[in-house]
Amino acid sequence: KSGFISIIGRPNVGKSTFINQVVGQKIAIMSDKPQTTRNKIQGVYTADDAQMIFIDTPGIHKPKHKLGDFMVKSATDTLKEVDLILFMVNAEEKRGRGDEYIIELLKHVRTPVFLVINKIDLVHPDDLLAFIEQYKDLYPFREVVPISALGGNNVSRLLDTIKAYL
């Protein structure tokens, strides 16, 4: 099994940390250069039975008013081409305009989307359900997976779940 996975979310939610946790530090650091191509490979995870190519989608992390129609189209076209989208949010932060902007773009694609709630090490487990409530009615996420990208908690479970969609 092999596939392209786009990882999207507001700045600082932990996208790069997740890639580092999964594929190793060097690759993600190298690909943190300014992006000129449409699909920027951030890292490749290879296991015995699966290969996952994690890519970044230029234009999707920016607030709406700064984007022209062309960039919005380019970003959504990219999201249509991948096998799976990971929408990452920070368990510590309330839903914001940046999140809502991304969700609006997601409504234009049919690619399966997971809601990945990162930084669960920073919140009380009892607060997680209320956090998920903020997103439940906005978009029909295929899976909701809480992780700690930094500590690695639940990351292998997320990889197994991804595998099932490739």
Residue ranges at the known binding site: 9-16, 56-60, 118-121
CB 68 within 8 A of CB 100: no
From the list Mg ion, ligand GDP, none, which binds 13 (C-beta under 5 to 8 Å, kind-based)? ligand GDP
- Look at strands 143-146 and 113-118 and give their pairing: parallel
Alpha helices in the chain (DSSP H): 15-23, 25-30, 69-81, 97-106, 128-136, 155-163
Closest separation between CB of residue 31 and Mg ion, Å? 9
From the list ligand GDP, Mg ion, none, which binds 11 (C-beta under 5 to 8 Å, kind-based)? ligand GDP
16 is a site residue for Mg ion (CB under 5 A): yes
DSSP state of 66: G
Of 37-45, 62-70, 75-83, 147-155, the window that binds ligand GDP (rule: CB under 6 A) is: 147-155
The site for ligand GDP, by CB under 6 A, has a size of: 16
Closest separation between CB of residue 149 and Mg ion, Å? 11
Q: What are phi and psi of 80, to 5 degrees?
A: -70, -25
The site for Mg ion, by CB under 5 A, has a size of: 2
Of 140 and 151, nearer to ligand GDP (C-beta) is 151
Q: What CA–CA distance (Å, rounded) separates 102 from 140?
A: 14
148 is a site residue for ligand GDP (CB under 6 A): yes
Residue 13: which of 73, 76, 102, 136 has the closest Cα? 102
Closest separation between CB of residue 92 and Mg ion, Å? 17
Give, in degrees to the nearest 5, the angle at Cα 56 between 5 and 161: 25
Annotated binding-site members for GTP: 9-16, 56-60, 118-121
Binding-site ranges for ligand GDP (CB under 6 A) = 9, 11-17, 118-119, 121-122, 148-151
